Amino acid sequence: MRNSFLFTSESVSEGHPDKVADQISDSIVDLFLSKDPEARVACETLTTTQLVVLAGEIRCKGVFENGEWAPGALEEIEATVRRTVKEIGYEQDGFHWQTFRFENNLHAQSAHIAQGVDEAADKDEGAGDQGIMFGYASDETPDLMPATLDYSHKILERMAADRKAGIAPFLEPDAKSQVTLRYANERPVEATAIVVSTQHAPGYFFHNGEGDEAKYTELRKYVLGVIADVLPAELLTANTVYHINPTGRFEIGGPDGDAGLTGRKIIVDTYGGASPHGGGAFSGKDPTKVDRSAAYITRYLAKNIVAAGLARRCTIQLSYAIGVAEPLSIYVDLHGTGTVEEGRIEAVIPELVRLTPKGIRTHLGLNKPIYRQTAAYGHFGRQSDGSAFPWERTDLVDKLKAALAS
């Protein structure tokens, strides 16, 4: 890697239209998994002005069987969607949790897909689709995540918490952040530019002589305070450039400002561009889909490798074929920072963790309603607490060290 360079990552808030869609899709995944831990769900969401549309395929015992909905199921789905939007905070004329029009186009999973994926008596279930999945970890932050993304997430997460607590009542749900850091010897040494664009209450802007300068100054001062709280003080210098709502007025936002779709923020969801991405989104998918579960296990493996001190950076790739249980390939790249050869780690991994879809779900405990919370502020680098974010645990460290000691 180059000795000195600039790197940038962005994040978007829970009120961004694509993230609204992701959270709705994952609230539906959680709803069905709470009814049936073996439920199959593929739920896509479209959001736009005063409209939410669901589409996709499901199979859920006691809720949707043989093409029939159980009594009250449709009403519970709609209530779940409206509650999700309410919790995000949308009570605006162009998008209000109580009054938006709702369409449910969920239907039965294809029998042809199911036959290649279902578990037979004598073998593991196959993968739900072909594909490649990547996991990554870096020791540049305590969360073992790229610093640019970690700080971008935490700025917006803090702003959302303050908005909901009434600390910053001039904020509205839609927002974006972007952090550029200068690296030296693979370590962040300076923030060169930070961008925050946030939807705001009427009047909290000032641009080209228009708006209310005092209100904008209040908003800007608040955002700068959040940035100062999130980023280490040594990274913020006299040379750091701040762009706070650089285009001026941002009163219309969320699904009323732009249509939102599930699965359009896959780089925000993962590693902020610091790692390759297999292309598959996570939200709206139950954990039999390797797009989701294999991405989680690769993060788990990469994080444990770095936490074990076997490398400062680690990228892992897995690949699968539909209907085939075992991965077709395992690839490990330690980016020249490793203390052991990559090939040894590749050989050891299958001895420590079963990488079949069922093996992954069992190891991480994924057949639970734990996904709504993943759908904003990143799937990775979060705190593992109870059943939440189990792929962030570092309980494989000792086993990795022991297996590689011989």
35 appears as a binding residue in the annotation: no
Say which DSSP state 340 is in.
S
101 is catalytic: no
Q: Distance between CA atoms of 64 and 41, rounded to whole angstroms?
A: 11
Judge whether 100 and 91 are in contact, CB under 8 Å.
no
Q: What is the predicted pLDDT for the residue at 240?
A: 99
Q: Tell me: the pLDDT tens digits for 50-86?
A: 999 999 999 999 999 888 899 999 999 999 999 999 9
Q: What is the predicted pLDDT for the residue at 115?
A: 56
Q: DSSP H helical segments within 193-307, as ranges?
A: 213-230, 266-269, 290-307
Tokens of 402: 């022991």
344 appears as a binding residue in the annotation: no
Could you say which of 125, 258, 326, 346 is catalytic?
Answer: 258
Judge whether 232 and 214 are in contact, CB under 8 Å.
no
Quickly state the pLDDT bin for 193 (edges 50, 70, 90). very high
Q: What is the predicted pLDDT for the residue at 121?
A: 44
291 is catalytic: yes
220 appears as a binding residue in the annotation: no
Residues 397 and 297 in one domain: yes
In this structure, the strands spanning 131-138 and 313-320 are antiparallel
Q: What is the predicted pLDDT for the residue at 112?
A: 55
Judge whether 81 and 54 are in contact, CB under 8 Å.
yes
Could you say which of 153, 163, 285, 299 is catalytic?
Answer: 285
35 is catalytic: no
42 is catalytic: no
Could you say which of 289, 312, 379, 382 is catalytic?
Answer: 289
Residues 154 and 247 in one domain: yes
Q: Distance between CA atoms of 311 and 128, rounded to whole angstroms?
A: 32
Q: What is the predicted pLDDT for the residue at 385?
A: 84
Q: Assess whether pLDDT exceeds 80 at residue 348.
A: yes
123 is catalytic: no
289 is catalytic: yes
Could you say which of 10, 14, 19, 137 is catalytic?
Answer: 19
Tokens of 295: 């991405």
123 appears as a binding residue in the annotation: no
Residues 332 and 393 in one domain: yes
Q: What is the predicted pLDDT for the residue at 122?
A: 45
Residue 336 or residue 208, greater confidence: 336
Residue with tokens 């699904």: 255
Q: Tell me: the pLDDT tens digits for 226-247?
A: 999 999 999 999 999 999 999 9
Domains held by the chain: number: 2
Residues 295 and 249 in one domain: no
Q: Answer yes or no: is 124 within a domain.
A: no
Residues 165 and 241 in one domain: yes
163 appears as a binding residue in the annotation: no
Residues 156 and 8 in one domain: yes
Could you say which of 57, 76, 139, 342 is catalytic?
Answer: 57
170 appears as a binding residue in the annotation: no
Residues 381 and 326 in one domain: yes
154 is catalytic: no
Q: What is the predicted pLDDT for the residue at 384?
A: 87
Residues 300 and 382 in one domain: yes
Tell me the mean pLDDT in the region 95-122.
Answer: 77
Q: Distance between CA atoms of 81 and 43, rounded to whole angstroms?
A: 12
Could you say which of 10, 14, 16, 308 is catalytic?
Answer: 16
Mean pLDDT of the chain: 95
176 is catalytic: yes
289 appears as a binding residue in the annotation: yes
398 appears as a binding residue in the annotation: no
Listed residues 253, 273, 304: the one ending a domain: 253
Judge whether 29 and 284 are in contact, CB under 8 Å.
yes
Q: Answer yes or no: is 370 within a domain.
A: yes
Tokens of 135: 């996991």
Tokens of 256: 């009323």
φ, ψ of residue 319 in degrees (nearest 5): -135, 150
Start-to-end CA distance of the chain, whole Å, equals 30
Q: Assess whether pLDDT exceeds 50 at residue 49.
A: yes
Residues 206 and 303 in one domain: no
Q: Answer yes or no: is 202 within a domain.
A: yes
Residues 317 and 371 in one domain: yes
64 appears as a binding residue in the annotation: no
18 appears as a binding residue in the annotation: yes
Residues 335 and 241 in one domain: no
Judge whether 37 and 367 are in contact, CB under 8 Å.
yes
Q: Answer yes or no: is 158 within a domain.
A: yes
Q: Assess whether pLDDT exceeds 80 at residue 120.
A: no
Q: Answer yes or no: is 306 within a domain.
A: yes
The lowest-confidence range among 14-23, 104-113, 207-216, 285-294 is 104-113
Listed residues 226, 253, 280: the one ending a domain: 253
Name the residue range of residue 305's domain: 131-138+289-405
Tokens of 292: 């989701």
Closest CA relative to residue 43, chosen from 367, 374, 284? 284
Tokens of 97: 């949790």
Listed residues 253, 277, 305: the one ending a domain: 253
Q: What is the predicted pLDDT for the residue at 128?
A: 79
Residue with tokens 């700068």: 224
pTM of the model: 0.95
Q: Assess whether pLDDT exceeds 80 at residue 118.
A: no
Q: Answer yes or no: is 239 within a domain.
A: yes
Q: What is the predicted pLDDT for the residue at 119?
A: 57
44 is catalytic: yes
Tell me the mean pLDDT in the region 200-220.
Answer: 94
Residues 401 and 298 in one domain: yes
Domain CATH number, residue 384: 3.30.300.10
* Sheet architecture: strand order including 260-261: 101-108, 51-59, 40-48, 260-261
Could you say which of 59, 182, 265, 292 is catalytic?
Answer: 265
Q: Answer yes or no: is 42 within a domain.
A: no
Q: What is the predicted pLDDT for the residue at 123?
A: 58
Q: Distance between CA atoms of 199 and 181, rounded to whole angstroms?
A: 25
Could you say which of 40, 82, 153, 264 is catalytic?
Answer: 264
Q: Answer yes or no: is 165 within a domain.
A: yes
Could you say which of 176, 292, 299, 303 is catalytic?
Answer: 176
124 is catalytic: no
Q: What is the predicted pLDDT for the residue at 379?
A: 98
205 appears as a binding residue in the annotation: no
Could you say which of 259, 347, 388, 403 is catalytic?
Answer: 259
Closest CA relative to residue 117, chosen from 283, 321, 378? 321
Residue 138, SS3? strand
